[in-house]
Amino acid sequence: MGMSKALITPEGLGESLQVAIGQVLEQVPGCTMRPTDLSRRLGVSRAIVSRTMSAIKRESVIETLTSIPGPESLRTIVLAASVAGVCEEEVQAAIEAIDSFAEMIREQYGTRTAFNAALSVDHDDAREKFEQANRYKVYKGMTHILGVECKLWLSCTIRMPSDHIEGCEDLVCLTTVAGPSGLRRLRPDMPIYLNHRRPVKHKHGSQDPMAAKPVDIKGFYTHPPAELKNFEFNGQTVNTFNPDIQGKNDCYDMFEGITVHVSDYHKSKPDFLYRGTSTMPDPPAMSLVIDSINHRDVLSGIKPELYVYRTLGRGLAKLKDPARERDLVVVDEEIVDCGMGISKLALSEFPLYTDMIEHICEQRGFHPDEFQVHRIQIPYPVYGFQYLIAYRLQDAEWSKIDSNQERDE
* pLDDT tens series, the chain, 409 aa: 444 444 478 889 999 999 999 999 999 998 889 999 999 999 999 999 999 999 999 988 988 998 999 999 999 999 999 999 999 999 999 999 999 999 999 988 888 888 887 887 766 666 777 778 888 999 999 999 999 999 999 999 999 998 766 667 788 899 999 999 999 999 888 888 876 554 444 444 444 556 788 899 999 999 999 888 877 777 777 778 888 887 777 899 999 999 988 888 888 777 778 898 899 998 999 999 999 999 999 998 899 999 999 988 788 888 778 888 899 998 888 999 999 999 889 999 999 999 999 999 998 899 999 999 999 999 999 999 999 999 998 755 545 444 444 434 3
Instruction: Give domain status of residue 129, yes or no.
Output: no
127 assigned to some structural domain: no
In a domain, 379, yes or no: yes
Q: What is the CATH number of the domain that holds 250?
A: 2.60.40
CB 179 within 8 A of CB 196: yes
| Same domain? 292 vs 393 | yes
- Does residue 247 share a domain with residue 153? yes
E-only strand ranges, 61-162: 148-149, 152-161
- In 3D space, the residue among 288, 333, 267, 350 whose CA is nearest the CA of residue 127 turns out to be 333
Instruction: State how far the Cα of 303 lies from the Cα of 374, in Å rounded to an integer.
Output: 9
The answer to whether residues 112 and 168 belong to one domain is: no
189, 287: one domain: yes
Pair 330, 363 in one domain: yes
347 and 253 assigned to the same domain: yes
Residues 203 and 167 occupy one common structural domain? yes
112 with 166, same domain: the answer is no
In a domain, 135, yes or no: no
If asked whether residues 302 and 379 sit together in one domain, one would say: yes
| Cα 19 → chain centroid | 36
pTM over 0.75? The answer is no
Quote the CA–CA distance of 175 and 158 in Å, as a whole number. Answer: 5
Residue 131 domain-assigned (yes or no) = no
User: CA dist 367 to 163, 302, 337, 343, 371, Å?
Assistant: 16, 21, 19, 12, 8
In a domain? residue 93: yes
Task: Clarify whether residues 47 and 185 are in a common domain.
Answer: no
Same domain membership, residue 292 and residue 378: yes
Q: What are phi and psi of 291, to 5 degrees?
A: -115, 125
46-56 vs 35-42: helix crossing angle, rounded to 10: 130
For residue 408, what are the contacts with CB-CB under 8 A and spacing of at least 6? none
Structural domain ending residue among the three candidates 122, 155, 176: 122
Residues 6+ apart with CB under 8 A from 102: 71
Domain membership of residue 341 (yes or no) is: yes
Domain count, the chain: 2
Phi-psi region of 267 (alpha: psi -120 to 50; beta: other; left: phi over 0): beta
Residues 6+ apart with CB under 8 A from 78: 21, 24, 91, 94, 95, 98
Say if 319 falls within a structural domain: yes
Q: Which domain holds residue 77?
A: 5-122
Q: Which of 88, 122, 156 is the last residue of a domain?
A: 122
Domain shared by 85 and 210, yes or no: no
Report the Cα 237 to chain-centroid distance in Å: 26
